[in-house]
Structure 1
């Protein structure tokens, strides 16, 4: 959990590094229990880095894959995507 907190802080202070760390985590643990949390942080970091189209792509894929996730509304808000 400490790594997740570190990743969350990086999303704001150093979005480029947060993106790299989140993607590395996805590659190492593609089906890990923290995948959803990491993906939300990744979307946030992409937005912070000004990479809105990538953020929207990730957010839409997340919504499609996890339609009942409790973080959907937060993800929609940060990536500025509409509800289906």
Structure 2
């Protein structure tokens, strides 16, 4: 599906699914929103990975309420 013509594929949430897709090398970009609330508990963003996943910051945006939106490119090979 990823190699077919068409729009990008977006997935929201799903720590287990994200780990599986990262392990398979199928993720090109990750977008993370940091919301200024301390929860004390919560769900993992991603479950255990087979290997480290290296990211490169593409852009960031700060909103008036303190939320920060970060977009990262997934690096396919470990940076030197």
Q: Is the TM value for this pair above 0.5?
A: no
Larger radius of gyration: 2
TM superposition score normalised by structure 2? 0.30
Q: Could you tell me the TM-score, scaled by structure 1's length?
A: 0.29
Structure 1 or 2: larger helix share? 1
